[in-house]
Amino acid sequence: MEKFDTLTGIAAPMPMINIDTDMIIPKQFLKTIKREGLGVNLFDEMRYDDNGNEIPDFVLNKPQYRDAEILVAGDNFGCGSSREHAPWAIKDFGIRCVIAPSFADIFYNNCFKNGILPIALPQEQVDVLMKDAEKGANARMTIDLEAQTVTTSDGETFSFEIDSFKKHCLMNGLDDIGLTMEKAASIESFEASASQSRPWV
């Protein structure tokens, strides 16, 4: 998993509440177990019309936000059914950080396991970031995970809270498999010892 330390990038504004996982990645795209390739269908029903053509007014179809790496959204982001495809699609599109007043618990935890930093901030601070994001591609925000800060294009800084273990995992690029592999030496030692003491197993 890619390490996350400092990110400076374009932020796309999505001032909508209750953006659920079916809006993020509709159910018809859940057949795959691959993490790659879902970015093109991120927010599919809002991005494309019935003929598959892009809807120009949707934020991620606008030229200034096509390379967005940060998403600023409304309250209760990622609610609805639990589907890991939602963070897969977000990450595959290129978004590495989502900022909102609150997140659904399962989606929030899935983000960390897939290299995405979800940041929960008070509504009034999200409102400031939303206005900054609305400036377009010339307004770049900076996320500093080590310092736990979000800085607007104008230099205004907000601090955010994050669980220390989740922070450690993101900064070191550790998913569940990576965490297990940190104990590889201990696992191998145990297996060798077990083989000697119980050779019949």
pTM flag (> 0.85): yes
Q: Is residue 44 part of a domain?
A: yes
Q: Is residue 201 part of a domain?
A: no
What one-character DSSP code corresponds to residue 27? Answer: G
For residues 89 and 111, is the Cβ–Cβ distance under 8 A? Answer: no
- Position with higher pLDDT, 192 vs 39: 39
Number of domains composing the chain: 1
pLDDT-based confidence at residue 158 (cuts at 50, 70, 90)? very high
- Domain residues for the domain of 99 are 6-173
Q: Is residue 184 part of a domain?
A: no
Which tokens belong to 83? Answer: 């589907």
For residues 4 and 96, is the Cβ–Cβ distance under 8 A? Answer: yes
Range scoring the smallest mean pLDDT among 70-74, 161-165, 187-191: 187-191
**pLDDT tens, position by position, 37-69:** 999 999 999 999 999 999 999 999 999 999 999
CATH number of the domain bearing residue 41: 3.20.19.10
Measured CA to CA, the distance from residue 154 to residue 139 in angstroms comes to 8
